[in-house]
Amino acid sequence: MLLQIVRRTTKFCWDILPNAVLSTWVFLRLGKLIHKAHIKWQGRAVLNYTRFLRNVPQLELLRDLALKVPTGDTWRVISVGCSTGAELYSLLWYLRSARSDLQISALGIDIADAVIAKARSRTYFREDVDDL
Protein backbone atom coordinates (compact mmCIF):
# COMPACT_ATOMS: atom_id res chain seq x y z
CA MET A 1 0.00 0.00 0.00
CA LEU A 2 2.70 2.47 1.05
CA LEU A 3 4.79 1.41 -1.94
CA GLN A 4 1.84 2.10 -4.25
CA ILE A 5 1.40 5.60 -2.84
CA VAL A 6 5.12 6.33 -3.26
CA ARG A 7 5.05 4.94 -6.80
CA ARG A 8 1.99 6.95 -7.86
CA THR A 9 3.24 10.17 -6.26
CA THR A 10 6.64 9.79 -7.87
CA LYS A 11 5.12 9.09 -11.29
CA PHE A 12 2.84 12.11 -10.91
CA CYS A 13 5.83 14.34 -10.06
CA TRP A 14 7.88 12.88 -12.93
CA ASP A 15 5.07 13.62 -15.39
CA ILE A 16 4.29 17.19 -14.38
CA LEU A 17 7.44 18.76 -12.95
CA PRO A 18 10.00 20.50 -15.22
CA ASN A 19 13.55 19.17 -15.58
CA ALA A 20 14.93 22.07 -13.56
CA VAL A 21 12.99 20.85 -10.52
CA LEU A 22 13.60 17.14 -11.16
CA SER A 23 17.36 17.82 -11.26
CA THR A 24 17.46 19.36 -7.79
CA TRP A 25 19.27 17.67 -4.91
CA VAL A 26 15.99 16.56 -3.28
CA PHE A 27 14.75 14.71 -6.36
CA LEU A 28 18.16 13.19 -7.13
CA ARG A 29 18.30 11.89 -3.56
CA LEU A 30 14.73 10.56 -3.83
CA GLY A 31 15.62 8.83 -7.11
CA LYS A 32 18.60 7.14 -5.47
CA LEU A 33 16.41 5.91 -2.61
CA ILE A 34 13.79 4.53 -5.00
CA HIS A 35 16.47 2.81 -7.07
CA LYS A 36 18.01 1.29 -3.94
CA ALA A 37 14.62 -0.04 -2.79
CA HIS A 38 13.89 -1.40 -6.25
CA ILE A 39 17.20 -3.30 -6.37
CA LYS A 40 16.60 -4.66 -2.87
CA TRP A 41 13.04 -5.90 -3.35
CA GLN A 42 12.69 -6.81 -7.00
CA GLY A 43 12.67 -10.45 -8.00
CA ARG A 44 15.78 -11.63 -9.84
CA ALA A 45 15.42 -13.11 -13.31
CA VAL A 46 17.42 -13.27 -16.53
CA LEU A 47 15.40 -12.23 -19.55
CA ASN A 48 16.44 -12.95 -23.12
CA TYR A 49 14.14 -10.32 -24.56
CA THR A 50 15.41 -8.57 -27.65
CA ARG A 51 14.13 -7.61 -31.06
CA PHE A 52 15.32 -6.04 -34.30
CA LEU A 53 15.84 -2.26 -34.13
CA ARG A 54 15.09 -2.39 -30.39
CA ASN A 55 17.15 0.71 -29.58
CA VAL A 56 17.33 2.93 -32.65
CA PRO A 57 19.03 5.92 -30.90
CA GLN A 58 21.86 3.58 -29.83
CA LEU A 59 22.18 2.17 -33.36
CA GLU A 60 22.25 5.68 -34.82
CA LEU A 61 24.92 6.77 -32.36
CA LEU A 62 27.15 3.82 -33.29
CA ARG A 63 26.51 4.44 -36.99
CA ASP A 64 27.50 8.10 -36.52
CA LEU A 65 30.72 7.01 -34.81
CA ALA A 66 31.41 4.63 -37.71
CA LEU A 67 31.03 7.54 -40.13
CA LYS A 68 34.08 9.15 -38.49
CA VAL A 69 36.32 6.11 -38.95
CA PRO A 70 38.95 6.55 -41.70
CA THR A 71 38.31 4.77 -45.02
CA GLY A 72 39.52 1.20 -45.22
CA ASP A 73 39.74 0.71 -41.45
CA THR A 74 38.60 -2.40 -39.60
CA TRP A 75 35.95 -2.34 -36.88
CA ARG A 76 35.33 -5.04 -34.32
CA VAL A 77 31.92 -5.13 -32.69
CA ILE A 78 31.20 -7.23 -29.61
CA SER A 79 27.74 -7.69 -28.12
CA VAL A 80 27.91 -9.06 -24.59
CA GLY A 81 24.56 -10.63 -23.74
CA CYS A 82 23.52 -10.70 -27.39
CA SER A 83 20.48 -12.95 -26.89
CA THR A 84 19.17 -14.16 -30.27
CA GLY A 85 21.40 -11.72 -32.15
CA ALA A 86 18.61 -9.43 -33.35
CA GLU A 87 20.27 -6.39 -31.83
CA LEU A 88 23.72 -7.24 -33.22
CA TYR A 89 22.35 -8.00 -36.70
CA SER A 90 20.47 -4.68 -36.56
CA LEU A 91 23.72 -2.92 -35.75
CA LEU A 92 25.56 -4.67 -38.59
CA TRP A 93 22.85 -3.58 -40.98
CA TYR A 94 23.21 0.03 -39.82
CA LEU A 95 27.00 -0.01 -40.00
CA ARG A 96 27.28 -1.78 -43.34
CA SER A 97 24.60 0.43 -44.90
CA ALA A 98 26.50 3.55 -43.80
CA ARG A 99 30.05 2.30 -44.39
CA SER A 100 30.29 -0.41 -47.00
CA ASP A 101 34.05 0.27 -47.23
CA LEU A 102 34.74 -0.75 -43.61
CA GLN A 103 35.82 -4.24 -42.67
CA ILE A 104 33.48 -5.09 -39.80
CA SER A 105 33.77 -8.24 -37.74
CA ALA A 106 31.13 -9.04 -35.14
CA LEU A 107 31.06 -11.29 -32.11
CA GLY A 108 28.05 -12.02 -29.95
CA ILE A 109 28.28 -13.86 -26.65
CA ASP A 110 25.59 -15.05 -24.26
CA ILE A 111 25.27 -17.48 -21.38
CA ALA A 112 22.06 -19.08 -22.72
CA ASP A 113 22.59 -21.88 -25.25
CA ALA A 114 19.09 -21.58 -26.75
CA VAL A 115 19.55 -17.95 -27.80
CA ILE A 116 23.02 -18.63 -29.21
CA ALA A 117 21.56 -21.46 -31.31
CA LYS A 118 18.91 -19.06 -32.60
CA ALA A 119 21.52 -16.41 -33.38
CA ARG A 120 23.67 -18.96 -35.21
CA SER A 121 20.69 -20.04 -37.31
CA ARG A 122 20.32 -16.47 -38.65
CA THR A 123 16.71 -17.36 -39.33
CA TYR A 124 13.91 -15.30 -37.85
CA PHE A 125 10.16 -15.45 -38.21
CA ARG A 126 7.45 -12.95 -37.44
CA GLU A 127 5.91 -15.37 -34.96
CA ASP A 128 9.18 -15.99 -33.03
CA VAL A 129 8.77 -15.60 -29.30
CA ASP A 130 10.70 -12.62 -27.93
CA ASP A 131 11.92 -14.41 -24.82
CA LEU A 132 13.40 -17.90 -25.27
Q: Which residues bind ligand SAM (CB under 6 A)?
A: 46-50, 54, 79-83, 87, 109-112, 115
Question: For residues 23 and 14, what is the distance between their CA atoms, to the nearest angstrom?
Answer: 11
Helix (H, G, I), strand (E, B) or coil at 106: strand
Contact criterion met (CB below 8 Å) for 82 and 109: yes
Q: Which is nearer to ligand SAM, 50 or 66 (CB)?
A: 50
Which residues is 22 bridged to in the sheet?
A: none
- Smaller CB distance to ligand SAM: residue 12 or 49? 49
Min dist CB 56 to ligand SAM, Å, is 12
CB of 11 to ligand SAM, least distance (A): 24
